[in-house]
A and B are shown apart, each in its own frame.
Chain A
Amino acid sequence: MSNEQYERIPAEKFAFVQEDKKLRDKALETKARGFFADAMLRFSKNKSSVIAAYILLFLILFSIVSPILSPYNVRDTDRRYINFPEFVPAIADMKLGFLDGARTMDSQSDNAMLFWRGIAEETGRDPVIDTLDTHETVVKRRGKEITTYSYDIEVNMYYSIGVVYKTFSYAEYQALQDWQNETGIQAIRPYVNPEDISGIKDNANIWYKVDSKGVAELDENGNFIPAYATDPTKAGAEYNSIRIPGDDGSLVYSTAKSGSVQCRIDYYNYYQYLNGREPTFVFGTNVMGMDLFCGIGIGARFSLLFAVLVSAINLTIGAFYGAAQGYYGGMVDMTLDRISDILSGVPFVVVTTLFQLHLAQKVGVVGSFLFAFVLTGWIGMAALTRRQFYRFKGQEFILAARTLGASDGRLMFKHIFPNAIGSIITSCALVIPGVISSETSMTYLGIVDLSDFAGTTIGTLLSQGNGAATTAPHAMLWPSLFLGLLMISFNLFGNGLRDAFNPTTRGVDD
């Protein structure tokens, strides 16, 4: 084929494409994609950020839901269930090895094992979950070899409390008995007079004959010999409720103590009486006896709301401040820059402390904490906005708008600001974790005490957990885990947003 055949095309073969109607662009068939939709599309391609977003969502949901799901609130503290591990009765019964309130106890002697057995027989709940290891020690004494054993055992801490002494008024004692009759759960155990158990007064778990060292004396079958009180003249109050099996009515269940009644109480059942449920602590309890599951949720709620509030205020102030700096430039810029230099030079600890000391009584702890954040927090935002304004203010479209008579305010917020909004949004997502981190540090250090206002905070939980980090690591673990996840996912999420809004800075990490 050659071009020759097109060389002489007769004139009549030509025709106008259009003659009467106007020529128009073809209408767009697809929907136009806006700035945000475009950014969202880019964001959703970033896998790690999307995962981070889901984790973030989960953590936020957790903080909303956990205080509702938990049967406790942060003010419910138990004086005996302190720093106890994770425990859910129904799961503990299944013996799965978790949520069973277990703590490992090393080198328990035979006598200690007897003590645990005593609790098991008295309360019907065996505190020893498992024997992990048995150590055999052979000691030579007076020419004879004596073998002693010691055991490493897992103990259910909730069961290990066993029986405690408790003093009631007559009315309270009767109310407890009524509850026993109603529910069929027996909390009051038969009383034991200290003189029958070698004068031991501080251990309510001994209900059997013991020698002077507090070691159980067993009968020939290896059973405990009960030492329950039987003298009815010493009874503190009338007992008309459930009795233990084998009691023909002769056992005494309390003793009189200066106008009130002292008795031995099975604490686990007494807990049920007080709270209407068995102890259930999915994350365990902390040093205050507070449910951590609920505490973390409450703390996180505060942290998140506070961080969002602080960020919103700081972004607003920073945007206006930076806009003024960047738009007017010159003297205005320099003066404002000096002010922000001075403010940013004051260490945050000092700011927080001074605000707490000066303002806490006037505007409250939270108010003064908020002021401390607002005082210096907006500076980064202002610098960012200022940079963006310098970038855009010399461009032609601004000149055009100015020529058309646009006012300064209009130029700033109608023409320049929308161009800068991408970088501003992304910095927002990275400001929030920073605020959470500072807030946690300050409450951790105890410079700010928000317990009265917020119930608790993650920082407070962490500092409370730190005291017993070795014996009860769970009290440190769960808040740490929550905080760690929150910070990581916030930062990943923020990075993803930044990459989505400013594709040019992708992969640059600061």
Chain B
Amino acid sequence: MLKYTLQRVLYMIMVFFIITLMCFVLIRMLPQPILPPNDPHTEVLEMRREALGYNEPYLVQFARFLEGVFTKFDWGYSEKLYFGRGVWSVFLEKLPATIIVNLYSILWTIPVGIALGVLAALKKNTWVDYFISTITMVVISVPSFVYAFLIQYIFCFKLRWFPFLMKSGTDWFSWDMFVSMIPAVLSLSFGVIAGFTRTTRAELTEVLTSEFMLLARTKGLTKAQATVRHALRNCFVVVVPGIFGEFIGILGGSLIIEGIFAIPGVGGLTLNAINGLDYNIFMLSTVFYTAIGLAAGLVVDISYGFIDPRIRVGSKK
């Protein structure tokens, strides 16, 4: 198991480095913003770029970049949006909002999603199942900004339960802050709930019809006992890795929801960096999102291996 985990981790790090290198080179290849002719700062900027090594070969630049990251954790400086500030400090400032909003959403979506999935599977082919499955289908299909609009219009505008945008400030755990986050949390939640409901339902229905369930009943377990002890456990082989993956994924957040509810998070920073052509911030966001994506996949794979020894992706045994 240790060997398997190490293998996966090393492989992931390799993939991560290759992606970082590719993106780094592609971002460095972008034309630098051109100052207006006769701008007094032209010369200074040229010298600065020279000093930062922008005129050297890309691989040398990448080595310098890695050196900065590994020795000083220096990701460069923002050149447009937060002029002169270290990219990493800007990024750290934005991270809490994203994490908290997503954490709130995940904390209640997973139990609800799994519960609905179990309910639908146990009541298979009754109106409960049809109702839950239909809603799940609809929610999964419709893009998140559509219900963000509905939530904003109904709860924030018509009923006036919540403020329109997230409260500014850094008092992350105050009551006002919590209330102002609810619309965003709700918008993020629906998709996750639907995802978990669907996976749980599909998995549990399959498990419930398998032969060991019949055996469990014949040896005298009640239906509830059989379901909880045998069916749910087997169904969680698939669901639990999903939960782990989701926990990693919360760091990523959602670009769109953060934009709509003015959450001062990583997504907004990334979008601003893209629109404002702040390459260093964009580079850090790229690294961040790549790492998140790969880590989520890795965690899912490894936890599969831990939970169910029969499944070891890519393992020899």
Question: Quick one: CB contact mask for A465-477 with B, threshold 8 Å, 1 for yes?
Answer: 1100110010010
Partner of A444, one of B29, B145, B282: B145
Question: Quick one: CB contact mask for B56-85 with A, threshold 8 Å, 1 for yes?
Answer: 000000000000000000000000000000
Question: Does B44 have its Cβ within 8 Å of any Cβ on chain A?
Answer: no
Q: Tell me if A353 and B153 are in contact (CB < 8 A).
A: no
- Of B91-99, B105-113, B288-296, which stretch is located at the interface? B288-296
B3-27 residues at the A interface, CB under 8 angstroms = 15-16, 18-19, 22-23, 26-27
Q: Tell me if A342 and B19 are in contact (CB < 8 A).
A: yes
Determine the distance from Cα of A441 to Cα of B260 in the docked complex, in whole angstroms. Answer: 12
Question: Does B149 have its Cβ within 8 Å of any Cβ on chain A?
Answer: yes
Question: Does A17 have its Cβ within 8 Å of any Cβ on chain B?
Answer: no
Determine the distance from Cα of A510 to Cα of B152 in the docked complex, in whole angstroms. Answer: 31
Q: Tell me if A490 and B149 are in contact (CB < 8 A).
A: no
Question: Does A447 have its Cβ within 8 Å of any Cβ on chain B?
Answer: yes
Q: Closest approach, in angstroms, between the C-beta of A356 and any C-beta of chain B? A: 9
Return the chain A residue nearest B270 by Cβ.
A349
Question: Does B140 have its Cβ within 8 Å of any Cβ on chain A?
Answer: yes
Point out the residues of chain A lying under 8 angstroms from B275, CB to CB: 446
Point out the residues of chain B lying under 8 angstroms from A347, CB to CB: 286, 289-290, 293
Q: A445-B255, A476-B149 are in contact. Are A349 and B289 (CB under 8 A)?
A: yes
Q: Closest approach, in angstroms, between the C-beta of B226 and any C-beta of chain A? A: 21
Determine the distance from Cα of A2 to Cα of B141 in the docked complex, in whole angstroms. Answer: 70
Question: Quick one: CB contact mask for A434-451 with B, threshold 8 Å, 1 for yes?
Answer: 000100110011110000
Point out the residues of chain B lying under 8 angstroms from A447, CB to CB: 271, 274
Point out the residues of chain A lying under 8 angstroms from B140, CB to CB: 491
Determine the distance from Cα of A354 to Cα of B289 in the docked complex, in whole angstroms. Answer: 14
Point out the residues of chain A lying under 8 angstroms from B138, CB to CB: 484, 488
Point out the residues of chain B lying under 8 angstroms from A341, CB to CB: 15
Question: Does B53 have its Cβ within 8 Å of any Cβ on chain A?
Answer: no
Q: Tell me if B293 and A488 are in contact (CB < 8 A).
A: no
Return the chain A residue nearest B294 by Cβ.
A345
Q: Tell me if A358 and B137 are in contact (CB < 8 A).
A: no
Partner of A354, one of B23, B199, B255, B294: B23
Point out the residues of chain A lying under 8 angstroms from B259, CB to CB: 445
Question: Does A70 have its Cβ within 8 Å of any Cβ on chain B?
Answer: no
Point out the residues of chain A lying under 8 angstroms from B27, CB to CB: 354
Question: Quick one: CB contact mask for B257-282 with A, threshold 8 Å, 1 for yes?
Answer: 00110000000001100110100001
Total of A-B residue pairs, C-beta within 8 Å: 107
Point out the residues of chain B lying under 8 angstroms from A507, CB to CB: 202, 205
Determine the distance from Cα of A462 to Cα of B256 in the docked complex, in whole angstroms. Answer: 12
Q: Tell me if B23 and A484 are in contact (CB < 8 A).
A: no
Determine the distance from Cα of A341 to Cα of B271 in the docked complex, in whole angstroms. Answer: 25
Q: A345-B15, A490-B141 are in contact. Are A510 and B202 (CB under 8 A)?
A: yes
Partner of B26, one of A354, A462, A480, A484: A354
Return the chain B residue nearest A437 by Cβ.
B143
Partner of A353, one of B137, B146, B201, B282: B282
Determine the distance from Cα of A433 to Cα of B138 in the docked complex, in whole angstroms. Answer: 13
Return the chain A residue nearest B289 by Cβ.
A347
Question: Does B206 have its Cβ within 8 Å of any Cβ on chain A?
Answer: yes
Q: Tell me if B202 and A346 are in contact (CB < 8 A).
A: no
Q: A346-B22, A480-B149, A483-B143 are in contact. Are A508 and B202 (CB under 8 A)?
A: yes
Question: Does A282 have its Cβ within 8 Å of any Cβ on chain B?
Answer: no
Question: Does A357 have its Cβ within 8 Å of any Cβ on chain B?
Answer: yes
Q: Tell me if A345 and B293 are in contact (CB < 8 A).
A: yes
Q: Tell me if A487 and B142 are in contact (CB < 8 A).
A: yes
Q: Tell me if A510 and B270 are in contact (CB < 8 A).
A: no
Point out the residues of chain B lying under 8 angstroms from A171, CB to CB: none
Partner of A487, one of B22, B26, B141: B141
Point out the residues of chain A lying under 8 angstroms from B141, CB to CB: 433, 484, 487-488, 490-491
The 11 sampled A-B contact pairs (Cβ below 8 Å) are A341-B15, A345-B16, A345-B293, A350-B286, A353-B282, A433-B141, A445-B255, A470-B153, A483-B142, A509-B198, A510-B202
9 nearest CB pairs, A to B: A487-B141, A347-B289, A488-B141, A480-B146, A484-B142, A491-B141, A470-B157, A350-B286, A509-B202
